[in-house]
Amino acid sequence: SERSNKSVPAVRSKMKRTRDIMYEAVKKGVKSTKKSKMGMVGGDSNKLYKSLKKTGVMMGNKVTVRAMSYALAVSEQNACMGRIVAFPTAGGAGVVPGTLFSCAEHFKAGKRKLLRGLFAASAVGLIIAEGATLSAAKGGCQAEVGAGVAMAAAGLTEMRGGSPEQCFDAAAIGLKSYLGLVCDPLGGLVEVPCAKRNAIGCMAAIGASDMSISGIKSFIPFDEVVEAMKNVAKIMSPKLRETALGGLAVTKTGNMIKEKLGMKITK
């Protein structure tokens, strides 16, 4: 409210709309089998969601499998030109809703508690944005999926009744685990490996929250982790910052996608 010079009810109202649009993307995504224009993503969320009926075969529990499915749903909606909330960005938009909505269903949290989680996640996102970056073009995927993991870990910890210190410990543990993650999208599109990175990010966020709630602290304070992230971003090669000039983007499959798009093949 202080940052935006808007009333608390107005800010809450906007976050409610954010929550509702996120939920809409999740629900549409898990039902959809539509493929993106390039055919690289689409339908995986539906497959994973259906697997919830056969959890005896899955190693993850219902919370984690559902969280991954929800994260994929948002990423696939994004790739198929559906409506999502870029939270913190389009590339990392699946982690927070995937984590928070699945866990909220698990412990039957009401909409008010979910809103508190989203505000806590936002606070962490703002600190990362101001202390480092939320742009993969500037800092690699650590700035998008990594930031999403930190935000989701803090938001979940808040929803579970954790203290502010525990929220920051969870965020630090989550972000530390993603330092140096490169952005190497095939053909420069926000599809591969972005979607599945969002799904795996939920597992990391839930794990970071569990560690914090159990009393484990991050040896390095959150602010210092953000500072380290900024440092890593500065020394990261431009080829690994959303340019599709390194990593997975220049594999045989990556170059095949480039060729389809009429882009220059990278040797």
**What's at 101, amino acid-wise?**
F
pLDDT above 90 covers what percent of the chain?
Answer: 95
Residue-wise over 87-112: b if at least 16 C-beta within 10 A, else e?
bbbbbbbbbbbbbbbbbbeeeebeee
pLDDT of residue 54: 81
Contact (Cβ atoms closer than 8 angstroms) between residue 84 and residue 76: no
Residue type, 207: G
Residue environment code for 135-161, b if the CB has 16+ CB neighbours within 10 A, otherwise e:
bbebbbbbbbbbbbbbbbbbbbbbbbe
Spatial distance between the Cα atoms of 104 and 159, rounded to a whole number of angstroms? 8
Whether the predicted model's global pTM rises above the 0.75 cut:
yes
Query: Are the beta carbons of 174 and 208 closer than 8 angstroms?
Result: yes
Mean pLDDT (the chain) is 97
pLDDT of residue 266: 84
Confidence of residue 249 (pLDDT cuts 50, 70, 90): very high
Residues whose CB falls within 8 Å of the CB of residue 9, separated by 6 or more in sequence, listed in order: none
The yes-or-no verdict on residue 55 having pLDDT over 80 is no
Task: Give the model confidence (pLDDT) of 157-206 as tens digits.
Answer: 999 999 999 999 999 999 999 999 999 999 999 999 999 999 999 999 99
Q: In DSSP terms, which residues pair with 241 in a beta bridge? A: 183
pLDDT at position 101 is: 98
pLDDT tens string 13-51: 999 999 999 999 999 999 999 999 999 999 999 999 999
Q: For 132-160, what is each residue's pLDDT tens digit?
A: 999 999 999 999 999 999 999 999 999 99
> Which pLDDT band, with edges at 50, 70 and 90, does 56 fall under?
confident
Confidence bin at 58 (pLDDT 50/70/90) = confident
